[in-house]
Amino acid sequence: MRIILWIAAAAMLGGCAGQMPASVKGECKVFADPGFAVQGKRLKDKQWIGKAQETGIQVCGWKRPTK
């Protein structure tokens, strides 16, 4: 009985073993790397852009822009 439960659990959790969750793969297709350093006018803009670019660099493999 335990073996059957282990096999069932392994089959259900097998989809989670990929490099990147499917939801993140979809996001990386939607948002493209701008290819240059984006700048904002206000501090809040700069903070949001910096956070979005850093996420793209870490999660989607974007190249870090040169200044």
- Whole-prediction pTM: 0.53
For the chain, the three-class secondary structure string (H helix, E strand, C coil) is CHHHHHHHHHHHHHHHHCCCCHHHHHHHHHCCCCCCCCCCCCHHHHHHHHHHHHHHHHHCCCCCCCC
Is 51 a residue whose pLDDT tops 60? yes
Mean pLDDT of 53-67: 83
Q: What does the pLDDT look like over 9-35, one tens digit per residue?
A: 666 665 555 555 555 666 777 777 888
Query: What integer pLDDT is reported at residue 20 of this predicted model?
Result: 55
